[in-house]
Structure formats: C-alpha cells, structure tokens
Amino acid sequence: MTDPGGPYAHPAPAGCPAHSGAVRLTGLEYQQTPAQLYRALRRDHGPVAPVVLDGGIPAWLVLGYSELTYVTSHDELFARDSRRWHQWENIPPDWPLLPFVGYQPSVLFAEGEEHRRRAGVITEALEAVDQFELAHDCLLIADDLIARFAGSGRAELMADYAHALPMRTVVQLCGMPTSGEDTRRLVDDLRISLDAGEGDDPVAAYGRVGERLRQLVKDKRADPGPDITSRMLTHPAGLTDEEIVQDLTSVIAAAQQPTANWICNTLRLLLTDERFAVNVSGGRLSVGEALNEVLWLDTPTQNFIGRWAARDVQLGGRQIRAGDCLVLGLAAANTDPQIWPEGHVGAENAAHLSFSNGEHRCPYPAPLLADVMARTAVETLLDRLPDLVLAVDPEELTWRPSIWMRGLSALPVRFTPVVQ
C-alpha cells in the first residue's frame, strides 16, 4: 500500500466529528436492517451525520440526496485524493478499510485533468465492448452454470450462479481465462478486499490482486488481444503498466461483486415480493423494473468511502473541516424522504445514485454493461427454471455483515429437476 502521507497530510484539526453524538458504523443494525438506522440517523442528525469508523476513526456520513449530489458534483470542495485526510497518523497498517482509502496512483484517487485522462482510457476500452456479443457470452455462461445444478432440483444461487456469472464474464472481457484456480483466487481476493469477513486480511488480499494483474498486463503487452486490458495498453494516452494495473483493479472490482449482488438482490425481490412473483410471468412487471427497484431500495453498494474536504465548508447544516472524511451514503440518499415525500420509493425512474454521480461516477458505459450482465443472468435463470421458488422462508434469508456492500449470505432455491 502506498504511503498515505504526502503533500496533503497534516495534523487533525479541532472540531473533528468524533463527538458524543457520533454513531459507530458497526453492529447488527447496519448488517441486517440498515434502512432503519439510516432513518434514525436522519431523524437525529439531519442529512449529514457524525459517525465513527473501525478503530474509532471519525467521519461524516452523507445521507441526503441533494447533499450527496452536491458533494459528488463539487470535486474542488470534496476531493478524492485521500492524502488530504488528517487522520493518517491514527490509521494502523492493518486497518480493514485501508484498501478503500490508502492512496493509490489509480483513476479512483486521481483528480482534475489526470482523472479525465485515466477515465477516458477506461471509457474507450469499455465502449469497444459489443453489448450484443456480451449478452450472448453471458447467456452461454448462464446456461453452463445452470446446467451444473439443474438436474438436482436445488441450488444456492449466490455461490453457484450470481457470483460466478459476472466473475467469468469480467475476467473474459479483460482477457483472462474464465475458469481455473488462478482466476478463482483472484475473485476470492477481490471479495475479501471489498467485503472482508471475520478472519480475512483485506490488505494482503488487495496485494495479491495487484500481483495477478501485473502478470496479466505483462502477458498482454507481449501478446495483445481483443480485450479491455489490451485496449488500455494500446490507447494513445500511453498509460504505464502500473497505471493500467491500478485502473484494471478498479474496473474488475466495480464490475464483479456489485453486479453479483445486483443479480441476487433482484432474484430475492422476484421470489419474495408478490407483485413480481405473480406478475413477471404475465408481463405486467418486467425484470427490468425489478432490477431498477433494487438499485433504489437494495443497492449493491450501500456506502462508499469517500471524499475529503479540500477546505472548510458548510454541508447540510454541518461545519466540515479541511481534511475531514465523508462517506457517501448511497443507499440512504436513494431513500431520502425529501425525494420520496409519500414514503413510497418506486422504480419509475433511474435518478438513483447507485452508480454515484459527477465526474467520479462509474464511467460510461459501465452501468450499461452491468445491466446487460444482470438482466441476462436473471432472465435466463427464470426462463430455464420457470418454477423456481425459495427453499426457505423469506425471513430466514440473511444479509452479509457489511456496511459497505448489500448482498445476501445465501439464496437457496428449489425447482423441478431438469434432465439434460
């Protein structure tokens, strides 16, 4: 991990948000019923709440839709370069959130013209992906995965399907083998670095991801192909191999686990909500509507860390000091009662913040490609196994213990076995 110090490092100022009203972003409330806690935070603190991260580190959680939109639209006030943070002297080397915030020379932390240069390379590499070919490849992968459990009449869709499909798709797009122990370890390490469980070492996992991608870049430099990695290597912007490794890490991490959770959260909605369970087959409510509703209500990325205040500024009635850390509360903002005054959050528009907002949002056309993967995965499963139902009561489903990602621990289902 790159040394987080540098030109923006300075001592913690007075007035940091670690006061008696700060709420710890830990505990079962966040893990299983975060929406209730977001409502309580909004009631007690307004659209910007003082919170405490792992290890007692203070930060601000931006809950309001308009406040989050403002933060992500004003990079000159709320910047991405984490070296501005005044808390680095309090951060241990094994801090679990270090993969999120430890400065890296990647597109995630770049600013201004450098960010536009790096994001432009990613955008053009993704734009060259043919969406019809992608849908076809996803269909083939979906059929292969379904065939592995179709004859048993039972499956655990998180492991057997939702995680596996985007994993195989993304590594194929990047020019890696779609199967094998090396690829499996890469995906496991990505999961650990994004959403570490008890006993996991996210910092070590993140390091292993970098090592694997350095080898990929080296291989593609010697033998380019029709893939994202090769297109980034041959782009006229002339990124270095290390810059490409860093940016590939961002691309793969953003595509794999969030898309897997999007798929599984949508399947959960379709299997547990009577509106969809009754109407999808009849054509009145589409898979597309379910996918969009999930982005509003159970977005795969609940919270994103973060932004760092470039100077003292007022936000949501709070005095934000230079160097303060802001956590983007994407899930809370999507359900802000200021934009849904009647308490009803519908899927009738796509103005959610699940792909963030502003210059640092997911680069176009990444959301479109994720939609192709998710839509193909859900539609193919429902088509191949039309009598698919939950194998447990809906109340028995549990969410992974994370305040950052929103995904089920497991999604067990049953269906009539299909003879191949």
Ramachandran assignment for 367, one of left (phi > 0), alpha (psi -120 to 50 degrees), beta (any other)? alpha
pLDDT tens per residue across span 130-159 = 999 999 999 999 999 999 999 999 999 999
Contact by Cβ (8 Å): 16, 319: no
How far apart, in Å, are the Cα atoms of 350 and each of 134, 254, 262, 292, 369? 22, 19, 15, 7, 16
Measure CA 79 to chain center.
19
240 pLDDT band, cuts 50/70/90, is very high
Q: Span 355-379, mean pLDDT? A: 94
Task: Output the DSSP codes for 351-375.
Answer: ---TT--GGGSPPTTHHHHHHHHHH
Q: Span 92-102, mean pLDDT? A: 89
Length of the chain, in residues: 420
Residue 342 has pLDDT above 80, yes or no: no
Q: Span 15-25, mean pLDDT? A: 66
- CA dist., res. 353 & res. 299, Å (int): 9
Question: Between 191 and 378, whose confidence is greater?
Answer: 378
Lowest mean per-residue pLDDT among 12-26, 61-75, 254-268: 12-26
Residue 30 has pLDDT above 70, yes or no: no
The secondary structure of residue 12, as a DSSP letter, is: P
How far apart, in Å, are the Cα atoms of 196 and each of 202, 264, 304, 401? 6, 19, 15, 9
Q: Is 413 helix (H, G, I), strand (E, B) or coil?
A: strand
Question: Between 1 and 59, whose confidence is greater?
Answer: 59
pLDDT tens per residue across span 272-309 = 988 876 555 544 458 998 999 999 999 999 999 989 99
What domains, with CATH codes, occur in the chain?
23-414 (1.10.630.10)
Ramachandran assignment for 219, one of left (phi > 0), alpha (psi -120 to 50 degrees), beta (any other)? alpha
Does the model's pTM come out above 0.85? yes
Burial environment of residue 10 by CB neighbours within 10 A (0 to 12, 13 to 18, 19 or more) = middle
> What is the identity of the amino acid at 324?
D
- Of the CA atoms within 13 Å of residue 38, those in its CB half-sphere come to 25
Neighbours of 76 (CB within 10 A): 9
- CA dist., res. 225 & res. 217, Å (int): 11
Measuring CA to CA, which residue among 27, 4, 14, 108 is closest to residue 328? 108
Q: What is the pLDDT of residue 25?
A: 82
Convert 227-263 to b/e letters by CB count within 10 Å (16 or more is b): bbbbbbbebeeebeeebbbbbbbbbbbbbbbbbbbbb
Partners of 318 in the β-ladder: 315
- CA dist., res. 35 & res. 94, Å (int): 29
- Helices (DSSP H) in 274-329: which residue ranges? 274-279, 287-297
401 pLDDT band, cuts 50/70/90, is confident
Q: Are strands 57-62 and 325-328 parallel, antiparallel or unpaired?
A: parallel
Q: What is the pLDDT of residue 204?
A: 86
Q: What are phi and psi of 380, to 5 degrees?
A: -65, -40
Q: What is the pLDDT of residue 4?
A: 43
**Cα 8–106–125 angle (5° rounding)?**
150
Measuring CA to CA, which residue among 258, 255, 207, 213 is closest to residue 99? 207
Residue 409 has pLDDT above 90, yes or no: yes
Contact by Cβ (8 Å): 406, 301: yes
The secondary structure of residue 339, as a DSSP letter, is: T
List the structure tokens of 416: 């009539």
27 pLDDT band, cuts 50/70/90, is low
Q: Span 372-384, mean pLDDT? A: 96
pLDDT tens per residue across span 164-188 = 899 889 989 999 877 777 777 877 7
